[in-house]
Amino acid sequence: MSRQLFYFSVLSLALSACSSSDNKSAQGNFDYATKQKSKAFIVPENLDKPAKQNEFYINDKINYKGPVGKKMDIRAPSLVLPLAASSRVISESDEAIIWFDKVFEDKDLLTFIKNSLISQLMSDDVSYDIVSVDNTNDDKTKGKTEVLESQWYHNEVETGWLFTNIELSKSMRFRYEFYLKPHGRSVSLKVSLIDYMKTDNDGGTKTIDSIDKQRAEMAMLNEVVAQVDYSYRLLQRENRLMRANQKLVSIGENKESEHAYVVEMALDNLWDNMPIFFEKYGFTITDLNETNKIYYVDFTQPESSIWDSIWGDELPVVDVSNDKYQFVLAPLDDKNQKTSVSIYSADGELLPLETLERIFPVMEAGLSFRNLY
């Protein structure tokens, strides 16, 4: 046998040994489990008894029927992890249950959470059945209940290297219970293990101890919570992209029918944010008239070095002459949702439409305040 094959054989045996080790019980000496209770300390009648501290007294009234020694399960308790936004757990509860509160006003909460569960089942390649739906819309004091059940989850552990062998096979089915409160802003999800099968070298069984059952339910619920969190993040990303791609600036007219930029933003909000635009694009504020909403600025095209182009820090430049300008802001509608931005030279001449169109790509991104924060 070659040395390389020998090393592979040793490694295979080591991995097999590791896979078959029990991680539930502690390793070491369990002589304490067989120790007999010590006899009471006897004090001669002619001597005083020592003082007894009841604060540190340990009685022998314990559950002798419980697991002792190697039978003791030392694994840390499983917990429900409220990772998703606006999720919460019931304190001191040993059930696999979690509550979700409404995050997006335009989304039905129960449908959103249920779709996240279905996505998780689909990614696990497990089908499901709708067991019952109790919609008590006629009774305002009751909510809505839905129950889904999964088909079998299968998990197998193989051992061996050249010739594999199935050492352990587990199959589980889960029930998912949704409860929507009457106001529709809170939904609970409870996961229960309803069927179980296990086959190993010792044979097959359909029973599972309470700790393993709880751990399986908690693990499944945490997978669903993670999927809900992913769905939230995906929706938030879509909303950010939608806002980023939304066209907030266009070329139109002010109330005097002059060519101007039209910004879909309230006048006060745009006025407060204009200094950010000026600072980023080479304008310096020299004066302002807050009553008439006029900014007086000097413009100097920013100088960019070769390093800016190499590192990608080169900013778009507003293609106008280095000069003094006036930016005049005015509301365009009664609801104050649109604002006109008219640009004049130092002599009060309105910038022509050709200039507004030429610099529009830079002005559109700047007045939308995109990528500024």
HSE value, Cβ hemisphere, 13 Å, CA-based, for 245: 6
Among 227, 226, 145, CA closest to 188:
145
Check: CB of residue 170 under 8 Å from CB of residue 155.
Answer: yes
Among 152, 341, 371, 319, CA closest to 250:
341
**Domains (range + CATH), the chain:** 74-241 (no CATH), 249-367 (3.30.310.170)
Beta carbons within 8 Å of 251's beta carbon, 6+ residues apart: 259, 260, 261, 262, 353, 356, 357, 360
Among 164, 171, 162, 170, CA closest to 200:
170
Check: CB of residue 351 under 8 Å from CB of residue 344.
Answer: yes
Could you tell me where the beta strands, DSSP code E, fall in the chain?
A: 87-88, 97-101, 128-135, 144-150, 153-159, 165-180, 186-200, 203-205, 249-253, 259-263, 283-289, 294-299, 324-331, 339-345
| Residue 50 DSSP symbol | P
Among 206, 230, 221, CA closest to 174:
221
Residue written as tokens 């399986």? Answer: 216
CA separation for the pair 286, 222 (Å, rounded): 58
CA separation for the pair 338, 331 (Å, rounded): 6
Alpha-carbon dihedral 214, 216, 219, 222, rounded to 10 degrees: -70
Q: pLDDT truncated to tens, each residue of the chain (373 aa)?
A: 444 433 334 344 444 444 445 567 777 777 776 777 777 778 888 888 888 777 877 666 666 666 777 777 777 778 888 888 889 998 777 889 999 998 887 788 999 999 999 999 999 999 999 988 876 555 556 788 999 999 999 988 777 777 777 778 999 999 999 999 999 899 999 999 999 999 988 788 998 988 889 999 999 999 999 999 999 998 888 777 766 666 789 999 999 999 999 998 889 989 999 999 999 888 999 999 999 999 999 998 877 655 545 554 456 788 899 999 999 999 997 777 899 999 999 889 999 999 999 999 999 988 988 655 4
Check: CB of residue 313 under 8 Å from CB of residue 279.
Answer: no
Q: How far is CA 228 from the centre of its chain?
A: 7
